[in-house]
Structure formats: structure tokens, C-alpha cells
Amino acid sequence: MTFIVAIDGPAGAGKGTITKQVSEKLGFINIDTGAMYRCVTLEMLEKNIDFDDNENIEKLLGEIKIDLKKKNGKDLFFLNGRDVTTEIRTKKINENVSQVSHIPIIRQNMSGLQRKMAIGKEVIMEGRDIGTNVFPDADVKIYLDATPEERANRRYKQNKEAGIESNYDEILENIKFRDYNDKTSKVAPLKMADDAIYLDSTNLNIDEVVEKVVSIIKDRLDRK
């Protein structure tokens, strides 16, 4: 049986954490589509391919191999056989991934790959356009949101816990800037699907959000 749960929403809404925990509770496969764009970005930077060099981008997409493997409960990403799980989270990738994810042939290719990865499986997939573009017929669609202030607050706390010094106002500015770019983008703008369930996590903790998502999925599974 194929059963697809799409979790979309803005940066910093907690999609990664929630998706991981829900997938563990329900035994679903968790696919982090942002990480896939990060892998392509790493390959583009390593091969020195310009973002408007469609010919070489197409060649790269024809050759690239992205694999997702689970080891000791951790999701590992492999790019052409090499473990790049840590590398795709570096500053250099953070600074370039948004631009790469807006290149139309890359989006087309990644969407196709995401559809293939889900065939015959129970999958929870997080991203920006899963319910609107990749799986318009997903069994469950959730748009996970939180106010920019709360998302900045969470990021600030995460940094503090990780020993990274940061400035709340700067983080907030950055989040607002990313929201604006994501929502007004010409290619796959961030938008809630008409039939998605809107879930505002501003005043909820992680366990409460996980519980709500699990209950929505179970309800839908019962009716399938």
C-alpha cells in the first residue's frame, strides 16, 4: 500500500523534528526533501557548475545518485556513495541551497525522484511543495506553521544549546526575509495546499504537535 503524508511549511517551523518523531512512532519512512536539494547543491559547488549552466546541470542530474539510509536510528544521506550527512548542513550549503532549489530542472528532477522513492511505501515527507506539487493527492497534508518570532526564538535557543553565539534580531530578520522569498518565488512558491490541515505550533511543544499529527494520520488510516 502506498500512503503519503506531506508536511509543508516555512523554515524553522519544526518540520524536521516532528517528521522524524512521527515516522518513528508509526514506522513510516521519513524523507527529508530539503536534504536532497542540499546534496545537489554540494555536487554543484564541488563541480563548479554555474547556477545558470543548464547543460551541465542536466548532465549532473543524469549522473547524480542520492541515497537515504537508516543507521542506528539516524538518517544518513549518501551522495554518489559518499556519506554527506554532516557536510550538507555547513554554512556554504546553507548560503547556496535556496538558489539551487529554485532552478526549474532541478525541481523537476527532485520531484520525480521523490515520487519514485514513495512507490508502494508508507511515507512521511517534509518540504515546501510536497502537498502542492510533488503529491497533490497525498493521503494527509499538513501545513506546519509558527509565528516568525517563535521560529526565531527556537533557532536562537538551539544555537545557544549548541554553543553557537547568535543575535535574536538578526535571526528574526533572516526568517522574515526567507519567508518573503519563499512565498513570492516564481518557481514553486511556498503556499498551503487548499486541502491541507493548518497546524499552528506557536504555542505547542514538540510532544503536543507530534500527538496531533499522529492522531490526524491514524484517523485517515482508519478510513482507508
CB-based burial of residue 57 (10 Å sphere; 0-12 exposed, 13-18 middle, 19+ buried)? buried
Running DSSP on this structure, what letter comes out for residue 187? S
Residue 85 as a binder of ligand DC (CB under 6 A): the answer is no
Query: Closest separation between CB of residue 189 and ligand DC, Å?
Result: 10
- From the list 113, 116, 111, the residue with the least C-alpha distance to 136 is 111
| Chain Cα centroid distance, residue 36 | 8
User: Which is closer to ligand DC, CB of 180 or CB of 218?
Assistant: 180
Q: Which three cell numbers stand for residue 83?
A: 556519506
**β-strand partners of 82:** 79
Minimum CB distance to ligand DC smaller for 153 or for 221: 153
Piece of the chain touching ligand DC by CB under 6 A; list 17-25, 69-77, 124-132, 136-144: 124-132
Judged by CB under 6 A, the stretch of 28-36, 45-53, 145-153, 213-221 that binds ligand DC is 28-36
Binding segment for ligand DC (CB under 6 A), chosen from 68-76, 93-101, 154-162, 169-177, is: 93-101
CA 64 to chain centre: 19
Question: Of 21-29, 122-130, 151-159, 198-206, which part binds ligand DC (CB under 6 A)?
Answer: 122-130
**How many chain residues are in contact with ligand DC, going by CB under 6 A?**
13
Q: Quick check: 131 binds ligand DC (CB under 6 A)?
A: no
Query: Cell 551522495 sits at which residue?
Result: 79
Binding status of residue 145 toward ligand DC by CB under 6 A: no
Rule CB under 6 A: say whether 33 interacts with ligand DC: yes
Give residues with Cβ within 8 angstroms of 155, minimum separation 6: 12, 166, 171, 175
Told to check if 155 binds ligand DC by CB under 6 A, we report: no
